[in-house]
Structure 1
């Protein structure tokens, strides 16, 4: 809250109508400011100077003249001024002020600083702490200090944190809001809440937003338990400080977990979503689902503590069921919700999927089943709509999908179904899917894909839906159309190989040709490829592994100051995604370093490099060349990556919590940043292992 020094009776008579004068000018003697204490002039070198309307004076000179003791603590860059029962603790480059040995706190608009090897502090703070009156004479540019003068003190800022009281205990989720006694600060563009360590004056951001009059939610972290100082800071659009308020609090999180989305006695007849409602920052949650009839217990994997979990009950889950949520804190402790009793009563579900109804099936498609019970056998069937004739495509023990490649004899309209047996031998039939089959004889090239770069011996194999007598593979000149045989044989389904020679380098197309028993030729698509037999370069380190942590942390801290994004999260991402900086893409043909730390495709500030990526063709994955952004240095890559996260619309929910490493990691996962379900947990493990949360601490 705004500075309010209880029990003190002081006088502050400051008339500040001066223009801002640089410290260097003051030291050089231009418009020198004089200090007179109890009628006696004090000589000061360097001289006092005015900054942001406040007179800064050498702390030791003025304080000792007033009979106070001054202690400078080099380790944490703090100054303590004590006189009788009055004291003040000031921090260099920090606006947090301690009074009464840390029992009360305030905010100053100008932080103490070191100039020419001397510590300068706002004179007003000295006068407030030691109970002296100060008067400014603009004509003579003189500060008059009267150690006998007393009067009431006024706060620096007319604002308070209205939702939290001094000394309040914070057991869990808390609303934060500020109130202004007069008008909002001119130019205000952001409110930022921090939780400061009273010893260091530094701490993490716990909430922020661009509506300074709105209420924000603070989800406390057990890491910050104990005595803390809650600070609210108002900044302009450039991040410059405008106003602030602080209040001491006690953080004593009492973890609380509630299961939401389910009601006691609810009948569950289909898939259902539920989530954990928490009053603290949890790393992850697990859900325990216990069938009271069978005793079977389902325990989920690590789930998003802020997201919903979807559960599809199986037939064996029918009956009275108890659901609990367990939230795990950063120390691995589990905190349990109250159980919710539900009644599961789902019907048997068996749905054939993989092909859209009415589709024309010419190439291979995969059929599979969506079901809620165990099966011991599955038969995939087709029935001719015109004749009613049914045939089995595949019969398999247990459950498996089936890749169907229609043959020419199946031309016409068909109904696809699946017939299954459960573990008791009962037979069930799925829905049917009506499709059209053109019955086109096809020969498909499987082991080579469009735009693939061949760098050595290459496997050649085809797939067909008709009997063939022999097969020939051709290499076709992309310019002239001339072709030559590179492999042949009478086993159409066999795998052949071709080893390119030096003269084969360049752009080509590969095509296969086979002959049916009736003498009809089948030809595959002519797949464009490139043969390259020269030297290729692999990814290489951007810096030595032992130096990468400091390297990444420095970039992250610089980025955090500009964007507000958690430096701990940024550093963990860089460690995880680059393998400690050891796997940075280079141009596979020239060796040009990309400095691309996050694998972003496209064109960067230094153009692009060519590296590998994966594509799929005829059911086969293969590597092709792709352009990845290149930069002049790693700093440009870092900035570009943050620009993506700060501008793309899908990352808006992430931006709302990006100041926090744990909340931000899960928000990235929800936004689709990574497909790895363990991505947030991997980031959090890195943050904990290397104490990266310290990177997110700042002062005011």
Structure 2
């Protein structure tokens, strides 16, 4: 029978052994995790045969692990996020998620305390363990801090195109942990999108761009706002449904998120810029009355530029909006095709202006409308632009660094 850690700690203290061959350790060593020295109270670290003995419960508590004890087999079990570590007294092997791992020193009970090699614990949880002889301390860096350090050291900019069910969403992740989310898929995609963002260690979203009022693009925004701090929203300013627009504004007001309209502004980041090509003035002289009623005509179109590499995001830009863009600076290395690859967009004249080397099409996994249309695929391929599709290839990742880009796919 397993006992929870709170009961177990009353009955027995677990101690970890830190094996340091070829070194003679001084007495009273310390242990530091992520820059903070641990306090051991009545069970301080000890040195036995050049091994540091540290109460295991202190170590596991520092890593937020749940500890259980099997009295019958004298086995300690530590768990966290699907990771299970099992160490049995007297055995020269331990188990990590059922994989047998040999131990330099068998787990043992000394003076009522269970001891296992700390090096094994560090390797099992993905921590970095070093010995500072001058300070007489074991220095441990947790896997979370290691991952954060790696993210901070990454100087590339990445664009992730997510395979949401029947809509579209893309994340721009820049050095310095700046995040820009363009659209959030449909209502049914919100929870899935949150998981994607959490897996990428997104904390704050500096900018959320809602290209136009369409459930396939903005339906998941509520879930995003409920799970992440969003600093600002930019949308087209077009009101297709007064009631829905007021509801959207109330949602932003409740969490004090400022809202702006696209107005051909340029936003600068650490090594990148986002230039909004569209603005509300584009239909001051509409071509026909229908322009007043089609949200696609008001899609936000913006250009990301990083180290000379350009990526054009078009929302659901219609053929009418593409014509308006004809004489604008829209040439780009990478094009996110408008309207999920519909034949109503991505016409030859527009494609000829963009001249994309790669085209990303986001039909949605459920693909209810049969996107992309064959006409669109033919036009893109005739431009010698390589096509990537989220419905066939899953998450599409564009990595930009030092004036070059690389595209990889999940499938």
TM-score (norm 2): 0.28
Highest RCO, 1 vs 2 (Cα 8 Å, sep ≥ 6): 2
TM-score (norm 1): 0.17
Q: Report which of the two has the higher share of strand.
A: 1
